[in-house]
Amino acid sequence: MNRVFCAFALIFMPALVAVAQQSPNQAVKDTTAVVDSMYREDQFYFGVTYNLLTAAPDQVKLRGFSGGMRVGFIRDMPINAKRNIAVGVGLGLGFNRFGNTLAINQTNGETSYSVLSEDITFDSNRFSTAHVEVPLEFRWRSSTAESYKFYRLYGGLTVSYHYWDRATFVQDGTRFKTNGVSGFNPIQMEASLLFGYNTINFYAAYTLTPFFDGTTGETQQEVGFQPLKLGILFYFL
C-alpha cells in the first residue's frame, strides 16, 4: 500500500504544484474589471462664479457681493471611436447676484435707471436673478476608459430663461424691492469656455445679450449690462 501511495504521489505531485501556481493568476483574471468601451464623461456639473460687469454706463461699478452658482445635468454624447470628442446638451438651474451702483426704479410699470454717485451713502444696491439654463457644449478631453484624470477643453453656448429677478436698494436700514423689472430681458445667451485637469476646471462665460433695455436718466447712455463670469466648475459622472 505504501508503495502504491508513493507511486501516485510521484505521478500527481507535479500536476498539483502546477495547479497551485496557476490558481492565483486565475483569481486575478476572474476579478479583473471589465473596461467600459461605451463610457461617458462629465454629466453632472456644479459651479461658482465671480461676476464682472461690461457694457454698462460710465461710472457704474461693482459694489458688494457679485457672484453666482449653477448646477445641472449634461448628456455627454461622444462622436468619435476614441470617445474623447463629444457634444453635450443639458438642463440646469442658476442664481446670480450683482452688487453695483446702478439704481433701478419702477413706477407704474415704467422703469428708470440712474448711477449712484460717490456722494450718495447707501448700505447695498444689487440686482438678483434665478434662471433655467440649457447648455450646448463641444467637448475635447484626453480621457480613456481606464483613466479618471485627464485634461479637458469645453466650449459652447448657454441659453437661459430668467423666471425671477429683483432689484434691491437698502439705505439707512430701509429696504426697497422691485420684483419683475419691466426693462429686463428674461431670455439670455452666453458663450462659455472651460479648461481644466482632473477635478479643477477654470470657467469663463460672457453674456451676449444685454440685460436691460433703456437709458440712464442723467446721460442717456444705454444701460446694457452684459456680465462676464469667471469661476470654477466641477463635473461628476
Based on the domain organization, do 74 and 9 belong to the same domain?
A: no
Based on the domain organization, do 27 and 45 belong to the same domain?
A: no
Based on the domain organization, do 67 and 167 belong to the same domain?
A: yes
pLDDT value for 11: 45
Q: Label residue 33 exposed, middle or buried (CB < 10 Å: 0-12, 13-18, 19+).
A: exposed
Q: By the 8 A CB rule, do 94 and 160 touch?
A: yes
Based on the domain organization, do 68 and 22 belong to the same domain?
A: no
Based on the domain organization, do 104 and 121 belong to the same domain?
A: yes
Based on the domain organization, do 126 and 221 belong to the same domain?
A: yes
Based on the domain organization, do 207 and 110 belong to the same domain?
A: yes
Q: What is the pLDDT along the chain (237 residues), one digit of tens a residue?
A: 444 444 444 444 454 444 444 444 444 444 444 556 788 888 999 999 999 999 999 889 999 999 999 999 999 999 999 999 999 999 999 999 999 999 999 888 789 999 998 888 999 999 999 999 999 999 999 988 887 789 999 999 999 999 999 999 999 989 999 999 999 999 999 999 999 998 889 999 999 999 999 899 888 899 999 999 999 999 987
DSSP-derived 3-state class of residue 28: helix
Based on the domain organization, do 46 and 27 belong to the same domain?
A: no
Distance of alpha carbon 67 from alpha carbon 24, whole angstroms: 56
What beta strand segments (E) does the chain contain? 44-54, 62-78, 85-100, 102-107, 110-115, 124-141, 151-171, 174-179, 187-197, 200-207, 212-215, 222-224, 226-236
Distance of alpha carbon 45 from alpha carbon 95, whole angstroms: 14
Based on the domain organization, do 100 and 75 belong to the same domain?
A: yes
Question: How far from chain centre, in Å, is Cα 117?
Answer: 35
Based on the domain organization, do 23 and 126 belong to the same domain?
A: no
Residues 6+ apart with CB under 8 A from 159: 133, 134, 136, 187, 188, 189
Based on the domain organization, do 8 and 54 belong to the same domain?
A: no
The set of long-range contacts for 202-205, using a CB threshold of 8 Å and a minimum separation of 24, is: 202/230, 202/231, 202/232, 202/233, 203/47, 203/49, 203/229, 203/230, 203/231, 203/232, 203/233, 204/228, 204/229, 204/230, 205/49, 205/158, 205/229
DSSP-derived 3-state class of residue 80: coil
Based on the domain organization, do 178 and 91 belong to the same domain?
A: yes
pLDDT value for 36: 65
Say how many domains are in the chain: 2
Question: Domain range holding 117?
Answer: 39-236
Residues 6+ apart with CB under 8 A from 180: 165
